[in-house]
Structure 1
């Protein structure tokens, strides 16, 4: 077994369930783990179930009154009236909500502890990445912000430089807010432009608070951006900033909702490009953080066709045994998909694309291209604060 990688998993995380018809169907988590197992990746990474985050841990990011509000709504869902963001259409209260959300948070905190403590070089929690939850409110299907809690735990353990890279289609607003004034944390978010998508934040001019100018980085991508543009934007921004910042740990969030089939957003990315970014994140961790890498899930609402394949690739890359994109999905997994969803499973681990992009340095800036204008806006806003040329 390759104990250099941990896979954080407890079947009880599927209890994070907002109910029938809600886009965040926990079947996406179960089907991902079954696909991981079908490829034998649970024998390549050490599967670890961490304990739920306790109150003192949750309070590294969340206000005590909010934690108590979640606990009350969890015990009596009918009492949730929209205050604290609980009991809304996005975040309906459900029985056991506190316990399920704290368990997911615990997996991300456990990943942080394992990587910082040297028990693992890399760790994955694809049930996590709930990046919209704020200090005092739920938002965007997120109750506790496990991503911010993982970063906060790393700081508590002694880390002085942590980089957080978020490639979910939605802005990583909760993580940015948690470390807005903390120069020890560099947050980078690539997301659909706030003019066209929730949470309507993540403008390039959002660059950090007075004590941490240049520590928040936002790339607002035009609706319709596909593989080539998405990868061009990532490579035009992320590698240079990580090289300048030199994090001790890299934390990444891999929401699969950038995919062209995702029903809640408007980018046109494929599983193949999502896999390419996961590969790049591992390489960047090797180059800049001694290999220390914590990878989280996030959004993703094409729960059969996209999410399980994307996050299985993520686990495989972290485990050091990448899955050939041309591989057929295992028969037993296809039967599981049909039994649980009455949908036909995808037949291969690829969307049939060969991702490529125009490198920023090689091709330069095209002022007539909306994607290039987005990249330039970010570079001009942030790069000088990091001692880089825009």
Structure 2
């Protein structure tokens, strides 16, 4: 079922670093890269190991205003200004040196992944440094400066892709991507996340379904704290699969944030890596079923940056490549992580499946509400 898979990475991506006290660590994707390499995935047949590049201003400007891009550049060069008007300041989005350049590299990585698919060099492509899904057209938001998934989707549309399905599996609502395409009928967005009643960014409710010609193409599945493997996978099976099958996109774009894990310090889901493996398999099969196999994936959040993100995203790329991983991470790699970072990485790639969460019964009500809100727009039965 697999085809040629591209992995897009360059050391320059590490520059996207908010500082030592910030929870978003570049190590989440550098360690994922290491683990994929030591597991032999990057040397597997039909794998393209592609370098990233910095995106050009005109590429970034397809989703962000010129005024905002100029502000990001100036703030990162130390110029004085009222940068809080653009979302920068102490807290989530601190100013750091050359932050425009750093963010442009992330955008360029995801664009190169999209280009590899559009040009037919790869059927699947992974940009683990990407997935900065909160950034707004004129505001940094939720650790995100430029919205690389949205920019890549806009580029794909301009290359002639008629329909794009964007699936966001991060624990936080994919609000930036939704906002950018809220009136765009060619982009179906589906976000499965912890409810905004309990978690940043406080949006992503069932009644946010798009506007004008895009009404019914923006889908939100806000789940309660404590959501575990069975009900999370049920959300994919009952919402994502039927909607994407009805949509028949030209390409599947997925944001694979792994801050849904039970040990993640910034949210309240109870997932295991078992759920990730199962979800990635579903995304892979879905891409082949409805999109000719075309599947672009990014990373995203993951605040257990050593213990979870590398295992999760290595599982994702192994699915793309069609390779079986060993039951446990290589001992030498785990020892190296412990020596460098003082983190004891759990050894199993696939953990024991989590039991249903305490509010599993509530999930059923959410799923029914989602069906009632949007299924009719796609010719589906909203009462099932």
State the TM-score, normalized to the length of structure 1. Answer: 0.94
| Residue 384 (structure 1) aligns with | 376
CA contact (8 A) 2:272 2:354 kept: no
TM-superposed deviation, 1:87:
2.1
1:337 aligns with 2:329: no
1:206-261 CA-partner distances (Å, limit 9, x unpaired): 00011211110000101111001101111110111011110000000110000000
For residues 113 and 195 of structure 1, the distance between their equivalents in structure 2, rounded to whole angstroms, comes to 37
TM-superposed deviation, 1:334:
1.2
For residues 24 and 292 of structure 2, the distance between their equivalents in structure 1, rounded to whole angstroms, comes to 34
CA contact (8 A) 1:131 1:145 kept: yes
CA 1:368/1:178 → structure 2, altered by over 3 Å: closer, same or farther?
closer
CA contact (8 A) 1:80 1:93 kept: no
For residues 170 and 54 of structure 1, the distance between their equivalents in structure 2, rounded to whole angstroms, comes to 28
For residues 228 and 269 of structure 1, the distance between their equivalents in structure 2, rounded to whole angstroms, comes to 9
Counterparts in 2 of 1:222-233, with a 5 A limit? 222-233=224-235
CA contact (8 A) 2:133 2:177 kept: yes
For residues 6 and 79 of structure 2, the distance between their equivalents in structure 1, rounded to whole angstroms, comes to 34
CA contact (8 A) 2:126 2:297 kept: yes
CA contact (8 A) 1:260 1:268 kept: yes
Unaligned stretches of 5+ in structure 1?
A: 358-366
For residues 80 and 95 of structure 1, the distance between their equivalents in structure 2, rounded to whole angstroms, comes to 17
| Residue 33 (structure 1) aligns with | 33
| Residue 363 (structure 1) aligns with | none
For residues 264 and 79 of structure 2, the distance between their equivalents in structure 1, rounded to whole angstroms, comes to 29
Q: Give the match's secondary structure for 2:207.
A: coil
**Across the two proteins, how many residue pairs are aligned to each other?**
378
Q: Give the match's secondary structure for 1:114.
A: helix
Counterparts in 2 of 1:100-115, with a 5 A limit? 100-115=102-117
For residues 24 and 221 of structure 1, the distance between their equivalents in structure 2, rounded to whole angstroms, comes to 23
* C-alpha RMSD over aligned residues: 1.8
State the TM-score, normalized to the length of structure 2. Answer: 0.95
CA contact (8 A) 1:85 1:91 kept: yes
| Residue 172 (structure 1) aligns with | 174
Q: Which structure 1 residue ranges, 4+ long, deviate > 3 Å from structure 2? A: 77-81, 354-357
Q: Give the match's secondary structure for 1:186.
A: strand
TM-superposed deviation, 1:78:
7.0
TM-superposed deviation, 1:81:
3.9
Q: Give the match's secondary structure for 2:145.
A: coil
CA contact (8 A) 1:61 1:178 kept: yes
CA contact (8 A) 1:77 1:93 kept: no
TM-superposed deviation, 1:82:
1.6
Counterparts in 2 of 1:230-379, with a 5 A limit? 230-324=232-326, 327-353=327-353, 369-379=361-371
Unaligned stretches of 5+ in structure 2?
A: none
